[in-house]
């Protein structure tokens, strides 16, 4: 029997005997068989169907559903920015701020997101912890803030009207869950000073009165709703902003009013109205050459920053919208018309007998005295009603009515002052057919106008007979630039030589007559007092008066007209000379300084000569 050698590890690097494998290794032999044609066709059809479906889907998305998807994408990628409704700034003629928009903030709280700096991002702080820090910045009691929050988890309005500094301190707290929402708020830095002409915006930023309302379109800044595209992270993409979308103008509406003179007029008027326990008062200053109003003050007034605290009746400027009978302040205008008609001679006289009876109606002087034969300067000095009736009786009644109509008594003044109204004048037939109508009109009663209209008519005397339009705005100007005076347009109604005569007569009123209290050393001033009965619905109110005074300066070169009207002053000594002149004098003194008006040369020379 043959023995085989024992098996064991094989030494050497030779190949293993055929048919054997190394320990731990196995080989699997797979038999390769050709695929059947059916299987290949099935795979091909499956892939072709998938590609065909993708192609059809792609065609559907791009061709059929493309516009809808594009619109949806644009809605996600674009952001519409609506205008804030910002308004242009208003400044006075020297550039002082009168009205402007400032940014204010509303503070919202969302307690479910409360988190303090340094906290775990997932932690939610108690409202008490947040309020403890916030109350210090807002200067409000903690309990008040906690009461506002209550158990609500979001959308709690904690404060509104926060100024930028307070809003910044809230941001610096770094508290999550607090949201500041900015909005513009109209601010009136001068308070009550210009409220009677500028007006205000209500809490919804809707213009309610004054220039804010009448010039609303001009005061709205140029803003448009525009869209911008945003990237995936919200970054604005410049190609999504249309050209000109971000343009913002810096135009300002410039007034002709001077804040310095306005303040003097306002303070003087308030003191006098209080002293005489009057119902109201108004003071107006106008450049007779250009029609620019330098001051238009009235009392009582209101603060446009807190308009809700005041009676809405104060929101209208009565000197522009309310009618009254001007009384004796209209006498110089009547005399100018009589001179223009050549009905009276500048050196002529009238016989003041103290009382007349016209159509059964008695007419007498205010002091119930007769002044005898007097010239026309004296008629103005003593304010003779009888003398005026005699003078104007020389003017044909239809011509008298025509003049009152020509100078615009019954027309709305051409002005940018909001709410201006026409005066009231009897019809021509009624005026001509009743003798009492021309007689009462001779001394400024029986018809009515606004203080603004009376100011315009006296400016006509001061500027040589030209009727110019009173206005309080110079227009829109860019940035801090101030506008120059525009071209003056007016209607020449009276001969300059005639108005020169009447202005000199008005100077005599200040030198010798009822206007002596206006005298200022070194200056030639003219004026006329007025104390008229007050009518309501055509019936005179017993004891009710309107005291007024109109001043013209300087006489040698008339430029400015000042009108003061005080409604229903109380007391037996309430006259234009006692009630209105003190206000007018303070305004004139300030005007001389502000406008740098030099002393009148003739008087200055006379004073120097007397001292020598």
Specify burial of residue 589 (Cβ count, 10 A radius: 0-12, 13-18, 19+): middle
- Beta-bridge partner residues of 374: 350
Q: How many CA atoms lie within 13 A of 610 on its CB side?
A: 6
Q: 569 CB contacts (<8 Å, ≥6 apart)?
A: 273, 276, 277, 278, 545, 547, 579
Question: Token pair of 133, please?
Answer: 């820090």
Count of Cβ atoms closer than 10 Å to residue 575 Cβ: 21
Count of Cβ atoms closer than 10 Å to residue 186 Cβ: 21
Q: How many CA atoms lie within 13 A of 26 on its CB side?
A: 1
Long-range residue pairs from 263-266, CB within 8 A, at least 24 positions apart, any chain: 263/193, 264/295, 264/586, 264/587, 264/590, 265/295, 265/297, 265/583, 265/586, 265/587, 265/590, 266/192, 266/193, 266/297, 266/299, 266/301
Q: How many CA atoms lie within 13 A of 400 on its CB side?
A: 30
Count of helices and strands (H, E) across the chain: 20, 20
- The residues annotated as belonging to the active site are 328
What gap in Å lies between CA 415 and CA 319, rounded to an integer? 13
Find the DSSP H helices in 283-382: 318-321, 331-340, 376-381
Q: 137 CB contacts (<8 Å, ≥6 apart)?
A: 166, 169, 170, 173
Cis omega (within 30 of 0) for bond into 300: yes
What gap in Å lies between CA 307 and CA 310, rounded to an integer? 6
- Beta-bridge partner residues of 280: 567
CB 295 within 8 A of CB 262: yes
- Beta-bridge partner residues of 491: 467
Q: Mark 98-115 as b/e (b = at least 16 C-beta within 10 Å).
A: bbbbeebbbbbbbbeebb
What gap in Å lies between CA 463 and CA 499, rounded to an integer? 8
What gap in Å lies between CA 587 and CA 296, rounded to an integer? 11
Question: Token pair of 206, please?
Answer: 């809707």
Kindly state the greatest CA–CA separation across the chain.
187
Q: How many CA atoms lie within 13 A of 45 on its CB side?
A: 6
Q: 12 CB contacts (<8 Å, ≥6 apart)?
A: none
């Amino acid at each position: 029997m043959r023995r085989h050698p024992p098996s064991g590890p094989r030494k050497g690097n030779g190949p293993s005997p055929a048919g054997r494998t190394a320990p731990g290794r196995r080989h699997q032999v797979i038999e390769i068989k050709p695929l059947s044609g059916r299987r290949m066709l099935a795979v091909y059809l499956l892939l072709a169907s998938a590609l065909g479906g993708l192609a059809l889907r792609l065609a559907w998305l791009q061709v059929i559903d493309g516009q809808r998807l594009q619109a949806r994408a644009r809605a996600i990628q674009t952001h519409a920015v609506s205008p804030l409704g910002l308004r242009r700034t208003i400044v006075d003629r020297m550039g002082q701020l009168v009205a402007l928009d400032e940014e204010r903030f509303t503070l919202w709280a969302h307690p479910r997101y409360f988190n303090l700096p340094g906290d775990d991002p997932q932690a939610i702080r108690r409202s008490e912890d947040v309020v403890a820090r916030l109350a210090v910045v807002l200067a409000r009691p903690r309990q008040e803030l906690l009461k506002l929050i209550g158990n609500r988890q979001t959308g709690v309005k904690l404060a509104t009207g926060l100024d930028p500094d307070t809003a910044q301190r809230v941001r610096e707290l770094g508290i999550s869950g607090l949201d500041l929402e900015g909005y513009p708020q109209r601010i009136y830095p001068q308070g009550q000073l210009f409220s009677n002409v500028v007006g205000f915006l209500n809490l919804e930023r809707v213009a309610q009165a004054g220039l804010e309302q009448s010039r609303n379109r001009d005061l709205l800044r140029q803003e448009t709703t525009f869209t911008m595209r945003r990237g995936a992270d919200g970054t604005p993409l410049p190609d999504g902003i249309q050209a000109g979308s971000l343009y913002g103008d810096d135009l300002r509406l410039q007034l002709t009013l001077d804040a310095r003179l306005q303040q003097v007029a306002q303070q003087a008027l308030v003191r006098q109205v209080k002293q005489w326990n009057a119902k109201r008062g108004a003071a107006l200053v106008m450049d007779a050459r250009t029609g620019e109003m330098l001051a238009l003050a009235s009392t009582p007034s209101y603060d446009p920053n807190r308009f809700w605290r005041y009676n809405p009746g104060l929101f209208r400027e009565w000197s522009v919208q309310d009618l009254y009978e001007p009384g004796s302040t209209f006498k110089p205008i009547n005399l100018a018309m009589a001179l223009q008609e050549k009905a009276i001679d500048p050196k002529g006289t009238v016989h003041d007998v103290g009382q007349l009876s016209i159509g059964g109606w008695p007419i007498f002087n205010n002091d119930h005295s007769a002044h005898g034969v007097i010239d026309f300067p004296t008629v103005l000095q003593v304010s003779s009603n009888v003398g005026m009736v005699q003078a104007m009786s020389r003017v044909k009644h239809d011509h008298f009515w025509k003049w009152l109509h020509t100078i615009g008594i019954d027309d709305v003044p051409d002005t940018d002052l909001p709410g201006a109204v026409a005066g009231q004048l009897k019809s021509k037939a009624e005026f001509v057919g009743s003798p009492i109508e021309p007689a009462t009109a001779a001394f400024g009663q029986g018809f009515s106008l606004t203080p603004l209209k009376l100011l315009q008519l006296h400016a006509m005397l001061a500027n040589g007979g030209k009727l110019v339009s009173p206005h309080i705005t110079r227009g829109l100007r860019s940035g801090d630039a101030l506008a120059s005076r525009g071209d003056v347009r007016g209607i020449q109604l009276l001969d300059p030589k005639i108005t020169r005569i009447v202005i000199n007569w008005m100077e005599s009123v200040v030198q010798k007559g009822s206007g002596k209290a206006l005298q200022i050393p070194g200056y030639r001033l003219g004026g006329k007092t007025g104390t008229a009965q007050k009518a309501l619905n055509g019936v005179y109110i017993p004891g009710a008066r309107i005291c007024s005074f109109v001043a013209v300066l300087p006489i040698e070169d008339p430029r400015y007209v000042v009108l003061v009207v005080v409604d229903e002053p109380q007391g037996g000594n309430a006259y234009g000379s006692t009630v209105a002149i003190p206000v007018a004098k303070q305004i004139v003194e300030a005007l001389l300084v502000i406008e740098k008006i030099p002393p009148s040369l003739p008087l200055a020379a006379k004073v120097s000569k007397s001292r020598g």
